[in-house]
Amino acid sequence: MAPSANIANLSQTWEQRANRCAWLVEDAGASRDVLRFYEHVLRFQGDASRHCVQVLAPESGLREQIDVEFVAQALLPDLLKLVEAKGPAALAKEARELRAAPTEAIRELLILAVAPGGMEFDRTTFFARACLQPAAEALQVQLGGLPHAAKGTCPACGGLPQLAVLRSVGEGAERSLICSFCLREWVYRRVICPFCEEMDKEKLPRYKAEDFTYVGVEGCDTCRHYLKAVDLSLDGRAVPLVDEVAGAALDVWAGEHGYAKVVPNLMGF
């Protein structure tokens, strides 16, 4: 597929994510403010994706191909303005401080975030992550297909999974994972922890809330990590990246029961 076609498809994908977020706000309860802000971020990311036109070189690593200078100069300033205007107070304060930071400090923040294993969530790395996701996704979609992978790390960039997705296949369910960095999706075995590779189903509990049945917690009692899984066989309207954020109450529950998320989502849950 040509890069221009990829960009057009990505614009529709980001619009679908933002529209789903706006729809979920109506019944979001305690998550309403988070989803309202996330909608603004998704629309920013959708606009950013239209400017990410770099052609992927398959022989090189995805992360090293991301144009950090372009992200710093063309995307980050608009995100900082958005967060100052629409973000929660603590994050808006961080945005103001970043706007005043030396250019080299901002560049180093992005370089660290691009490096394998370099991104752990805090308020500052939110900005790098929000800008880098559209750029990284615009590269990985050029790989095409839905790959199968034996490892719990992204086959495109090596990132850790953000969430799981369940789909009906025959009489069972197929699980795939979505990368927290480049948003690449890959098919992964159903009964295994992607973090420590525990395969004993007795040590891999699953939990669901009674009023939110299509999103659940997939835990591991060996490493005490978890992911949330969005079950599209129970709600085909769900947009996994967005509905995972909407299930923030499940993250609270998991934390109270001693589980740590493999990677917090962009909103910090």
For residues 220 and 74, give the distance between their C-alpha atoms in angstroms, rounded to a whole number.
41
Give the residue extent of every domain in the chain: 3-142, 145-261
Give the pLDDT of residue 30. 80
Express each pLDDT in 1-30 by its tens digit.
455 555 568 989 999 999 999 999 988 888
pLDDT at 158 over 90: yes
Three-state SS for 53-113 is CCCCCCCCCHHHHCCHHHHHHHHHHHHHHHHHHHCCHHHHHHHHHHHHCCHHHHHHHHHHH
pLDDT band at 123 (very low <50, low <70, confident <90, very high): low
What does the pLDDT look like over 48-104, one tens digit per residue? 999 998 999 988 999 999 999 999 999 999 999 999 999 999 999 999 999 999 999
Answer yes or no: is pLDDT of 216 > 60.
yes
Nearby residues of 232 by Cβ (< 8 Å), 6 or more positions away: 165, 166, 167, 168, 214, 238, 240
**Which CATH number describes the domain made up of 145-261?**
3.90.1670.10
Q: With beta carbons less than 8 A apart as the criterion, state whether 244 and 183 touch.
A: no
pLDDT at 246: 95
**The pair of three-digit structure tokens given for residue 19, joined into one six-digit string:** 């529209």
Angstrom distance (rounded) from CA 253 to CA 53? 41
Give mean pLDDT, residues 195-224.
95
pTM of the model: 0.94
pLDDT of residue 168: 92
3-state SS class at 10: helix
The predicted pLDDT at position 80 comes to 96
Structure confidence at residue 1 (pLDDT): 46
